[in-house]
Amino acid sequence: MASTIREARYRVEGMDCASCASKIDTAVRRLSGVEDVSVSVSAGTMSVKFADENDLATSIVSRVGKLGYRLHPIQAGQASERKAAHVCSGHDHDHNHDHDHGDHSHDHDHDHDHGHRHDEHAHHHEGNASQKGETAAAAMGLHGHDHGPTSGPWWKSGKGKLTIASGLALIAAYAVGKTIPATEPWIFTLAMLVGLLPIARRAFVAATMGTPFSIEMLMTIAAIGAVFIGATEEAAMVVLLFLVGELLEGVAAGKARASIQSLTALVPKSAFVERDGRLDEVPAETLSVGAVILVRPGDRIPADGVILSGESAVDEAPVTGESTPVRKEVDDTVVAGTVNGSGALRVRVTAAAADNTIARIVRMVEEAQESKAPTERFIDRFSRYYTPGVVVVAALVAVLPPLLSGGFWDEWIYKGLAILLIGCPCALVISTPAAIAASLSAGARRGLLMKGGAVLENVGKVTAAAFDKTGTLTEGKPKVTDIVGFGRSEAEVLRLAAALEQGSSHPLARAILERSTADGVAIPNIATVNAVGGKGLEGAVEGIALFFGSPKAAAERTPLTADEKARVAALNDEGKTVSVLVAGGVIAGAIAMRDEPRPDAAAGVKALTDAGLRVVMLTGDNRRTAEAIGRQFGMEVRAELLPEDKQRIVRELKAEGFNVAKIGDGINDAPALAAADIGIAMGGGTDVALETADAAVLHGRVGDVAAMIRLSRSTMRNIVQNITIALGLKAVFLVTTIIGVTGLWPAILADTGATVLVTMNALRLLRPVRAV
């Protein structure tokens, strides 16, 4: 019987460079029963798919432990600073409003997709698996990676302690060697061994697990070779510089990793929960779904939830980047980590700590960082041949000149050893993942989520953007745009219409009631109200007989004048739904409603066209409404489309040579999203949005699509700069080494310097993403 395939995720302690990740990947992949391995230096995580066999989980932990790294299983609901969040179920709605302007009944087609996804990582680790792995790692205590860069000050880490010990040994060697010159050869050799022994041990273990050409192996060969040709002082210095370089890499990697992890610090440590009529302060991570909490003015909200009572302005900037506080009232949702304004709120918790929005964002970004971009995969393949090739070149440089032209052996072996150090691929291998990890983190902090490096690369290649209308370019709900008084004042028309609509949950009724509330209109009580099938509503208010419905139905009761008909037609031509009020047998006025554009939509569309993109609207709504909205944006409009029509148009755009991004809410647009090069979901729950598309704009701003494209293009420029730095420095020092200008010290500085420069250049992407 075939074994069940399980997937486990681990936090890898001490992994902070591309060389580390490569060794771990190779070692675990060579275990029998392992199907797939995905390692992210930036997130400090590893995902493994393997056969559910006895002790295989233990073997994975133990094998990585022998390399000198500690594995910590990431389990669902684990209460730690870094939470692993399951992606939960959610609902996303696409409201395709088909407004028949001659009928107040207004058909609203609601298509619901209940996307339930449970990423169940079967972390059924035996109790001793982690323990054995820790023991194995502890046995390798000399390994410089014993503690990750974020677990405390650098000098308290194993790597820091080893670097300090090596530095002190070198200082002592200088003191003794200069005092007693005869001791210099062996005293510098001893100082070198302080740092080299753990490096050599790691090189040997990595070689036995499938990575013979690791940086540790190159370092070991170079140091031992230097001793044999009498360059003991340089050998000791090179080992120290190597350790300092690793330390700097660790600090830089920790800074990139902390960027996204810092989101978890937004959630407060405690919460006030209602129990049996009293308030208890409890740890926020213990809150269960359904619990009722009190959020005081000025406090951070400790959990995702729905407001039961109270209203307040909530500052969502820490999570979504929205600069203006958002007004929240009963039945509105709130997100953990946002800041309550001036009003107290009672909130019912809708997600446990491990499943809240911030935890899901962190989890998604970490998983995205484990997904390699095409450029990264190419660099990985290139480095597999690059390093052995450099070893061959170093050997030829060391051997051929003395054999063929009578060169001095010591001189050319020295040059060969320097080339070995120059050949380390660390800077080259980290050039792409460092930039992509920083970019994914920066995007997530602004509410721009992408499914991985491949998506991030492809977003920047987009040349055409196809937008859904309802809920994407528009708010997704109708608003009162015009109140026209014919026989009565505008305020009176609104007051009487609201009286008929009160108590109705119809979207158009809600729009009228919201406008009356906003205008401070006192709505009178109504004795009776009746729905007139397909035509509108009728009733009596303050002794006045009222009818509120379509212009056609109103005209059946009281004819409209030519001016009134012209005004209604003009409003219809603007894509607005018009309802006419008849009071006491006289045309009193009209109210026009429309699903209005998002406030930033015009600027967002302009930013895309300015960036050279072709922008088109694809909508199922009627042509008159769609073109009225499209005119405001100056964009191409395709209306009255079925889902398969949207898919066909996307394919036509691709056939014309465009790289197409489809932007919608991810449900009715599913066929078009699948057909597009990139599918971007607007707003909605983060889990469903990313399930149905390649990327998501959490805050629903149209301008964020342009920001996502700009971020992608900046990232690709950064990657090109990184590769240029990595290969350029090595090329320069290769030439200067062969002609005898530079030696071992500059060689290791070239490697370390390139790695640090590449990482620091990538960290520039962590700067805030500029809004449109």
Which residues participate in catalysis according to the annotation? 468
Using the structure block, give the residue that is written with the tokens 């090595």. 730
SS (H, E, C) 314-358: EECHHHHCCCCCEEECCCCEECCCCEECCCCEEEEECCCHHHCHH
Cα separation of 202 and 23, whole Å?
10
How far, CA to CA in Å, does 304 sit from each of 41, 286, 665? 30, 13, 21
**What is the C-alpha separation between 85 and 365, in angstroms, rounded?**
11
Strands 34-40, 70-73: parallel, antiparallel or unpaired by DSSP?
unpaired
Three-state SS letters, 685-718: CHHHHHHHCCEEECCCCCHHHHHHHHHHHHHHHH
Question: Locate tokens 């992949």: which residue?
Answer: 29
Q: Which long-range contacts (CB under 8 A, 24 or more apart) does 395-404 make?
A: 397/738
Distance between CA atoms of residues 50 and 6, nearest Å = 5
User: What amino acid is encoded at 268 in this protein?
Assistant: P
58 membership: H or E segment, kind and range: helix 56-67
Q: Report CA Rg, the chain.
A: 33
Is the Cβ–Cβ distance between 288 and 79 less than 8 Å? no
| Residue in the structure block whose two tokens are 């209109």 | 521
> Where do the DSSP E strands lie in 173-240?
none
In degrees rounded to 5, what are phi and psi of residue 283? -60, 135
Which H/E stretch holds residue 36?
A: strand 34-40
> Quick one: residue 406, left, alpha or beta (phi over 0 = left, psi -120 to 50 = alpha)?
left
Angle 679-84-680 (CA atoms, 0-180°, nearest 5)?
A: 10
Could you please report the per-residue DSSP string of 286-301?
G--TT-EEEE-TTPBP
**707-719 burial, b for 16+ CB within 10 Å, e for fewer?**
bbbbbbebbbebb
Neighbours of 287 (CB within 10 A): 23
3-state secondary structure of 47: strand
Closest CA to 701 of 679, 680, 682, 681: 682
C-alpha 379/C-alpha 433 separation (Å) is 10
Partnered with residue 660 across adjacent β-strands are 464
Nearest-10 crossing angle of helices 56-67, 127-139: 20
State phi, psi for 561 to the nearest 5 degrees.
-75, 170
Angle, helices 409-422 vs 215-228, to 10°: value is 160
Q: Extract the tokens encoding 347.
A: 């909130």
CA distance 95 to 665: 9
Tokens of 614: 């072709």
Helix axes 426-445, 232-261, angle to 10 degrees: 20
Side-chain-facing half-sphere of 392: CA atoms under 13 Å: 5
The angle subtended at Cα 323 by Cα 320 and Cα 324, nearest 5°, is 110
In angstroms, the CA 680 to CA 685 distance is 13
**Scanning the structure block, which residue is given the tokens 């932007």?**
663
- C-alpha distance from residue 659 to each of 379, 448, 615 (Å): 24, 20, 12
Residue 416: how many other CB atoms lie within 10 Å: 24
